[in-house]
Amino acid sequence: MIVNKEIIEKTNDAALQNHKRNFEFIAAGISNVENIIKKLIDFQIAIPSWALGTGGTRFGRFPGGGEPRNLEEKIEDIGLLHALNRSSGAISLHIPWDIPENATNIKALAAQYDLKFDAMNSNTFQDQPNQKLSYKFGSMQHVDKAVRKQAIEHNIEVIKYGVELGSKSLTVWLSDGSCFPGQLNFRKSFLNTLESLQEVYSQLPDDWKMFVEYKAYEPNFYSTTVGDWGQSLLYTSKLGKKAYTLVDLGHHLPNANIEQIVALLLMEGKLGGFHFNDSKYGDDDLTVGSIKPYQLFLIFNELLEGMDAKNMNHANSLAWMIDASHNVKDPLEDLLQSVEAIMISYVQALIVDRKKLEEAQNNNDVVTAQEILQAAFRTDVRALVAEARLRAGGALNPLAVYRKEKVREQLIKERGMKTMATGL
Ligand SMILES: [Mn+2]
């Protein structure tokens, strides 16, 4: 379904006066406000196809109905998000869950909603029906060469689908690892994985990037073969120029200093992309900014510092994506909240007084450094984000329009209660 422009404009008009007052208040205190709004309009966050349905745990799943039943409906849902917030202009697909039957038609449909195809995601963490060999004991690390070959061929097939759609990157997340001491030879499983990744890398088109995502634990609980940023960096350094490390916020051990990790990866020119989510304990996959908004801000602060140091374009030199699961919320509402949280942190990082911060750092003035960061973090920038949305043709309050238009109720009517969006 589509929320048309007239409805968005009408609801904006009703909220305009209030918005203007808030915007003028914040704008008065910021010197380069027009520049910031332009950056916000350009900043797009990809939505993964698997985040459009209700997630679940190994204990259960409580679907809310109206979930997209196929790739076309997933594109429609992201089109709807993008119409509301004008910041979700890309979709990230997962193969085999989203195999396009007709790439030309799928491309045309995405273009209709002003969506691009972000990174393609391969899947060797579960067995598919009719799959010849099992990934129970790993894929690219597997002791059996035939299993490794199957995983390599799958990734090459994913690249092929991506080329048809106009994607420019492949994200490889491996669940490979071991559950018990002694199960694996660490060195051999690393080398097998490296060799498999090299085979896939050799098939990568020249203008493509390959992202190697790491994760500390789960589904394996003793060791993970791409377990942290050091291991990922080891692989991507050995692979070559087109290989980058991908940081997923939920894939670290508790209290890891993620902002420091991104600073160093950027310094090395090896940070490729980002999967946003939030967590209290581990890979909780909660709404971005719902638990640790200050950490999110600190990460953005390092991202901008590092990107600006290399003159990188904020909007398109890294792959920005949400990777979350929605167990109790309406997935589309959750995604609207996540995108909003990302935009807020981005602006807060943009308004950090970098010159003063550098001065404070050089003078070992710890108190001033903290004051500068927290002054930015404690600034209510919501009206700036809303202004950017307004100028881009979106809704001042996307969530309010979504609810007022009873989008979920309509989707349930159209698609039914019992639909499934992912292959999990
Ligand atoms: Mn991820």
DSSP letter string, 126-183: SPPTT-SS--TT-STT-SSHHHHHHHHHHHHHHHHHHHHHT--EEEEE---EESSTTS
Residue 421's pLDDT is 64
Helices and strands in the chain, H and E counts: 15, 10
Instruction: Share the mean pLDDT of the chain.
Output: 96
Query: What is the 323 CA–ligand 1 centroid distance (Å)?
Result: 5
179 compared with 420, residue with greater pLDDT:
179
Query: What is the 103 CA–ligand 1 centroid distance (Å)?
Result: 25
62 compared with 419, residue with greater pLDDT:
62
pLDDT band at 80 (very low <50, low <70, confident <90, very high): very high
pLDDT tens profile 188-206: 999 999 999 999 999 999 9
Cis peptide before 96 (omega within 30 of 0): yes
Query: What is the 374 CA–ligand 1 centroid distance (Å)?
Result: 29
Residue 419's pLDDT is 76
Query: What is the 40 CA–ligand 1 centroid distance (Å)?
Result: 24
Mean pLDDT value across residues 4-32: 96
Query: What is the 173 CA–ligand 1 centroid distance (Å)?
Result: 7
Tokens encoding 416: 């039914």
Contact between 373 and 15 (Cβ < 8 Å): no
Query: What is the 354 CA–ligand 1 centroid distance (Å)?
Result: 30
Residue 2's pLDDT is 77
- Of 12-16, 58-62, 240-244, the range with the lowest mean pLDDT is 58-62
Cα angle: 331, vertex 332, 337; to 5 degrees: 95
Query: What is the 247 CA–ligand 1 centroid distance (Å)?
Result: 8
Mean pLDDT value across residues 15-36: 97
Tokens encoding 131: 């799959």
Query: What is the 8 CA–ligand 1 centroid distance (Å)?
Result: 32
pLDDT tens profile 89-114: 999 999 999 999 999 999 999 999 99
Q: What is the percent of the chain with per-residue pLDDT over 70, rounded to a whole number? A: 99
pLDDT band at 423 (very low <50, low <70, confident <90, very high): low
pLDDT tens profile 296-318: 999 999 999 999 999 999 999 99
235 contacts: CB under 8 Å, gap ≥ 6: 193, 194, 197, 212, 226, 243
Query: What is the 324 CA–ligand 1 centroid distance (Å)?
Result: 8
Residue 275's pLDDT is 98
317: three-class secondary structure by DSSP: coil
Dist CA 149 CA 278 (whole Å): 35
Query: What is the 9 CA–ligand 1 centroid distance (Å)?
Result: 35
Query: What is the 322 CA–ligand 1 centroid distance (Å)?
Result: 8
Mean pLDDT value across residues 239-268: 98
Ordered alpha helix ranges (H), 174-328: 186-201, 229-239, 258-267, 293-309
pLDDT tens profile 127-177: 999 999 999 999 999 999 999 999 999 999 999 999 999 999 999 999 999
129 contacts: CB under 8 Å, gap ≥ 6: none
111: three-class secondary structure by DSSP: helix
At 268, phi and psi to the nearest 5? -85, -5
Query: What is the 248 CA–ligand 1 centroid distance (Å)?
Result: 5
Contact between 29 and 109 (Cβ < 8 Å): no
Dist CA 341 CA 323 (whole Å): 14
Task: Name the nearest CA neighbour of 9 among 340, 384, 339, 396.
Answer: 396
Query: What is the 214 CA–ligand 1 centroid distance (Å)?
Result: 8
Residue 334's pLDDT is 98
Query: What is the 250 CA–ligand 1 centroid distance (Å)?
Result: 8
Query: What is the 251 CA–ligand 1 centroid distance (Å)?
Result: 8
92: three-class secondary structure by DSSP: strand
Mean pLDDT value across residues 385-412: 97
DSSP 51: G
CA atoms within 13 A on the CB side of 390: 20
Dist CA 196 CA 174 (whole Å): 12
269 compared with 57, residue with greater pLDDT:
269
Contact between 92 and 322 (Cβ < 8 Å): no
Query: What is the 296 CA–ligand 1 centroid distance (Å)?
Result: 16
Residue 58's pLDDT is 87
DSSP letter string, 167-188: --EEEEE---EESSTTS--HHH
Query: What is the 120 CA–ligand 1 centroid distance (Å)?
Result: 12
247: three-class secondary structure by DSSP: strand
Distances (CA, A) of 141 to 122, 210, 248, 368: 15, 18, 21, 49
Query: What is the 102 CA–ligand 1 centroid distance (Å)?
Result: 27
pLDDT band at 1 (very low <50, low <70, confident <90, very high): low
